[in-house]
C-alpha cells in the first residue's frame, strides 16, 4: 500500500483535567476527516458521563480481547484497564487517539510515524477545577494531579508538540494546523 494511503495517527496525551477529551470531540466536529477511536475501559462510568464515552466492560471481557490481540495498545491506569481497539477508520480518515503515556509509547513502537501532542493545563489550579467539575472524588483528584505531574514530565520526552490548553478554540486550531501539516507532508511523499 502506498504510504499516502496510510492514515495519520495523532495521539493526545496529558494529565487528567487537561481537557484532552473535550479537545478531541471538538476536533472531530471541526474536521470530518478526523476519526476518533473509542477506547475500552474497566473503569465504571462516572455519574453524568456520556454512555458512549468508552465501551465500558468488565475485566474479564477486556482480558478476552487482549488474548485475541484485539487492541492496538492497552495499559493499566490508576487500577483500571484502558485499551484502543485495533483501529478501523473509514477510508480517507485520520486516526485520533486520546490515551495515556504508556499507551502512546506502545503505539509509537508499532507505528513509528504516529505523532504525539502533549496537552497540558495552564496551571494545576485549572486542572483541579476541571477534575472536580466532572465529579471525581477528592482522593481521585489528588491521585490524578500527582500522576499528572509525572505524565507531563515523561510526556515531554516523547511528545512532538506541547499544547497549553488555556483556550479550547486556540488549542483546537493549533492541533488542526498540526494535522494539516502532516497531511501535506504525507501527500508530498
For position 62 contacting ligand 5GP by CB under 6 A, the verdict is no
Scanning 58-66, 98-106, 160-168, 175-183 for contacts with ligand 5GP by CB under 6 A, the matching segment is 98-106
Scanning 3-11, 77-85, 86-94, 115-123 for contacts with ligand 5GP by CB under 6 A, the matching segment is 77-85
For position 147 contacting ligand 5GP by CB under 6 A, the verdict is no
Q: In whole angstroms, what separates CA 148 from the centre of its chain?
A: 14
Give 11 or 179: the residue with its C-beta nearer to ligand 5GP: 11
Give 4 or 86: the residue with its C-beta nearer to ligand 5GP: 86
Which candidate, 180, 186, 178, 5, places its Cα nearest to that of 90?
A: 5
Classify 87 as helix, strand or coil.
coil
For position 19 contacting ligand 5GP by CB under 6 A, the verdict is no
Residues 6+ apart with CB under 8 A from 31: 176, 179
Q: How far is Cα 176 from Cα 189, in angstroms, rounded to an integer?
A: 20
Contact 96, 24 (CB under 8 A): yes
Give 97 or 179: the residue with its C-beta nearer to ligand 5GP: 97
Q: In whole angstroms, what separates CA 180 from the centre of its chain?
A: 19
Q: By CB under 6 A, name the binding residues for ligand 5GP.
A: 16, 20, 39, 43, 73, 75, 77, 82-84, 98-100, 102-103
Amino acid at each position: 500500500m502506498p504510504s499516502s494511503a496510510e492514515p495519520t495517527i495523532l495521539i493526545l496525551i496529558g494529565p487528567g483535567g487537561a481537557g484532552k477529551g473535550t479537545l478531541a470531540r471538538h476536533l472531530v466536529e471541526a474536521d470530518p476527516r478526523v476519526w476518533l477511536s473509542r477506547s475500552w475501559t474497566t473503569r465504571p462510568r462516572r455519574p453524568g458521563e456520556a454512555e458512549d464515552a468508552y465501551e465500558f466492560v468488565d475485566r474479564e471481557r477486556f482480558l478476552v480481547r487482549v488474548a485475541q490481540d484485539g487492541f492496538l495498545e492497552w495499559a493499566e491506569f490508576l487500577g483500571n484497564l484502558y485499551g484502543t481497539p485495533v483501529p478501523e477508520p473509514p477510508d480517507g480518515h485520520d486516526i485520533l487517539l486520546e490515551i495515556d503515556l504508556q499507551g502512546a509509547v506502545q503505539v509509537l513502537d508499532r507505528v513509528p510515524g504516529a505523532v504525539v501532542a502533549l496537552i497540558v493545563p495552564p496551571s494545576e489550579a485549572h486542572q483541579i477545577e476541571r477534575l472536580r467539575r466532572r465529579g471525581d472524588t477528592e482522593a481521585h483528584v489528588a491521585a490524578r494531579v500527582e500522576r499528572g505531574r509525572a505524565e507531563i514530565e515523561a510526556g515531554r520526552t516523547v511528545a512532538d508538540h506541547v499544547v497549553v490548553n488555556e483556550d479550547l478554540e486556540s488549542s483546537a486550531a493549533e492541533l488542526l494546523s498540526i494535522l494539516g501539516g502532516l497531511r501535506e507532508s504525507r501527500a508530498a511523499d
